[in-house]
A and B are shown apart, each in its own frame.
Chain A
Amino acid sequence: MAIDAIQKDLLEKIADLHDVPQGAYNIRANGEAAARSTTANIDIVTKTDKPGIDIIIKAGTKNESVHIPVVISQTGHTEMVYNDFFIGEDADVTIVAGCGIHNTGDSESRHDGIHTFYVGKNAKIRYVEKHYGAGDGNGQNVMNPTTVINMEEGSYVEMDTVQIKGVDSTDRVTKAVLAKGATLIVSEKLMTHGKQNATTKFEVDLDGENSATHVISRSVARDNSTQLFLSNVNGNNACNGHTECDAIVMDNAVVSAIPQIKANHTDASLIHEAAIGKIAGEQLIKLMTLGLSEKEAEEQIINGFLK
């Protein structure tokens, strides 16, 4: 199946892809496999029992990347995809996922995905996920990504998620279980506008000794949009947990942050920080004294905040 211009544009937005990527990839367009490539170390296999793929990364694979973008340009297309990642011991790879929807029709287009990671001993991954919606129809763009991360001893996962435009409704869930010495760093950037609605929920179990997590969520809510941030970090051993929710609220938007940290062990050290507020007046004034209009100043502050 060929990739058309709209799908190419979506690919660029979500995966910075101008052409077919280097290394292993699997491109899913309107529910069908559009292109796939595997390498000696990275295999991609279509699931037989349900929609989705298995991505199998051999132990010791270094400096390779896997791109698995999903694009939907057909209005009314809904799908539920299960992708499982098996990352071998000592591997060090980058995984780029993401979903772009271009909906010009009146029906809801929806992508629900469950990504499950099995991260082997001492493996290291960087997981990048971008979500983007476009289209001038009345149909809603809906994305509900669930990420489940099982981390073995000494493994390291860095997860960057970005959703800054065009997704009308999203319900994001990220769950992780960390073994001894494992580290999970999550950075989430979110912007909602219009009547959009976003819920994001983190559930992290720090089971292993000296496991650590750092979850940072930065969001901007504009117009009449609503956002709900939920985080739940359980310290079940001697561990370090830090969650941070930082939101800019504008216009008539509503943002809620409900953090929960629970120490089930006396050596668990857990911190939560949450801040919600409008753009500081002094920031606007400073940029205006540099010659920017109030609107331009606002854009600069938001762009920086979500960078």
Chain B
Amino acid sequence: MLELKNICYSVDTKDGVKNILKDVSLKIDDRFVVITGPNGSGKSTLAKIIAGIIQPTSGQILLDGVDITEKSITERAHLGVSFAFQQPVRFKGITVHDLISLAAGEELNIGKACEYLSEVGLCARDYIHREVNASLSGGELKRIEIAMILARGTKLSLFDEPEAGIDLWSFQSLIKVFENMHRTIKGNILIISHQERILNFADQIVLLSDGEIKKIGTKDEVMPLILNPNPVCEQIKV
């Protein structure tokens, strides 16, 4: 279980201090939790704070009761936090097989690496020896990013907009990946997403707006708030 206690994050800008996250407290113990909210609401920042990439200005992060607030990215990875980036990173010379092996923490044989790739709809034969560089499309990189999380198999898996850029591969397949993942790993899956179809499948939805939690609840409780946003401004209507 992941617990966030009074997380605040602010940055200094030329216009003064900007508060990105304002006293965010949250317990994540369901299978699938989706954090949603408008652009700029602080969702990705929150994910980076959980993974240890950004240090919160104040507040506490507990993983299964253990305070991980001061732990490094590497230490959190060892404690069981995995993080799929919104924009996967490219590497010159490092192959898909190298990355999946690093994720698994051991040199995987081709058969095993193939299982993870097949899971995300990639034919291992075509990809296993490819370099994770600019020759791969955004969608391919995104699926490899998800395959790495599968190979890690940790108790907390964090996905920042996993659906973005996955074009031809259906949402249904993506959701199936999450379901399989939960069945085999039995951890918590935390997804940052705008996508209604991903929200529909969440056990719990956290609505974040302007750095604050507006609502935590089931989709029936939260969806009405999302589907009836503030009136659209006149200019956009035209």
Contact = CB atoms under 8 A, between A and B. Distances in A.
Contacts of A49: none
B152 A290 contact: yes
A287 interface: yes
Given A287-B102, A289-B82, A300 B89 contact: no
Indicate the member of B73, B77, B78, B92 with the most A CB atoms within 10 Å. Answer: B73
B30 to A, nearest CB: 23
B73 A304 contact: no
Interface string A128-154: 000000000000000000000000000
Interface in A276-307: 280, 282-283, 285-294, 300-301, 303-307
B105 A291 contact: yes
Main SS of the interface on chain B? mixed
A300 B74 CA distance: 15
B205 interface: no
Interface string B112-155: 00000000000000000001000000000000000010001000
Interface size class, chain B: 20 to 34
B29 to A, nearest CB: 22
Interface of A: 218, 246, 280, 282-283, 285-294, 300-301, 303-307
B74 A294 contact: yes
Interface of B: 51, 53, 72-74, 77-78, 81-83, 85, 88-89, 91-95, 98-99, 102-103, 105, 131, 148, 152
Contact of B73 (A288, A301, A307): A288
B33 to A, nearest CB: 19
A245 to B, nearest CB: 13
B93 A307 contact: yes
25 contacts: A218-B93, A246-B92, A280-B89, A282-B89, A283-B89, A285-B73, A286-B85, A286-B88, A288-B74, A289-B51, A289-B81, A289-B82, A290-B77, A291-B74, A291-B77, A291-B102, A291-B105, A292-B74, A293-B74, A300-B102, A303-B93, A304-B93, A304-B98, A304-B131, A307-B93
Contacts of B95: 304
A246 B133 CA distance: 14
A76 to B, nearest CB: 37
B85 A300 contact: no
A291 B78 CA distance: 6
Contacts of B78: 291
B103 A290 contact: yes
Nearest to B79: A291
Given A290-B102, A291-B74, 11 more contacts: A288-B73, A288-B77, A289-B81, A290-B77, A291-B78, A292-B74, A293-B74, A300-B94, A300-B98, A304-B92, A304-B98
A276 to B, nearest CB: 14
A203 B93 CA distance: 26
Contact of A289 (B77, B91, B93, B105): B77
Contacts of A289: 51, 53, 73, 77, 81-83
B89 A304 contact: no
Given A289-B82, A289-B83, A291-B105, A305 B74 contact: no
